[in-house]
Structure 1
Amino acid sequence: MATIENGKITVKNAGSTEIQAKVSYNGDTIASNKDKITVQATTVSLTEQVQSLEEAGDVEHSVAQ
């Protein structure tokens, strides 16, 4: 659903997930509080996703046409 790289959260699909950071140092691990993120799909986001799939050749003909 989501990835974190260099402190940037990238959401892959609509839905909910929890994110938590963990740091280990000298054998000790410290964890942050968990934070829930919810992403809702919009007409614009769905249109962009369908267009991306079409451009990649993953979808031959979308119902949007």
Structure 2
Amino acid sequence: MDVEIDQDSCVAAGQCVLAAPDVFDQRDEDGVAVLIRKPLAGDYDATREAALLCPARAILLSE
């Protein structure tokens, strides 16, 4: 699974971090989402949930 974050669209809601904390974090200065690491197979469901929960639809997944 490949993950991209459109940081210009991110509204810093933090839903991705709550859903998949091993994959996503937020920058301290503005709360914009960042990718910690590429998701492992065990992270796929949480990463998909994070993308669905993102209010800005800023998380783009390809499998």
Alignment TM class, shorter chain as reference = under 0.3
- The answer to which structure, 1 or 2, has the higher relative contact order (CA under 8 A, 6+ apart) is 2
Q: TM-score, normalised by structure 1?
A: 0.24
> Greater share of helix residues, 1 or 2?
2
Structure with max Cα Rg: 1
Q: TM-score, normalised by structure 2?
A: 0.25
